[in-house]
Amino acid sequence: MAHSAVPTTAPAAISPISLKELAPWALFVGVLMLVLLYLVGAEQGATAVFQGDTIHEWMHDGRHLLGFPCH
């Protein structure tokens, strides 16, 4: 038997993720969550960005699920 099924070297230690590497992703996710919160909670109200009822109809069930009034 020339090959062993068990590795002969120890696996490399996993280094923790630094804050510099994590910050752009945290910012991206935070902005995305704020946009989704706006679309579900406030769009088609006094601060409407889009014309018509399309966004309201797409987000209608989500509004009721999250407790936002829409009627």
* Residue pLDDT, tens place only, 19-60: 899 999 999 999 999 998 888 877 776 777 888 778 778 888
Alpha carbon of residue 3 to chain centroid: 45
Q: How far apart are CA 56 and CA 47, in angstroms?
A: 13
Query: pLDDT per residue over 4-23, tens digit each?
Result: 777 677 777 788 889 899 99
State the DSSP code for 62.
Answer: H
Give the DSSP H/E element, type plus range, for residue 26. Answer: helix 19-41
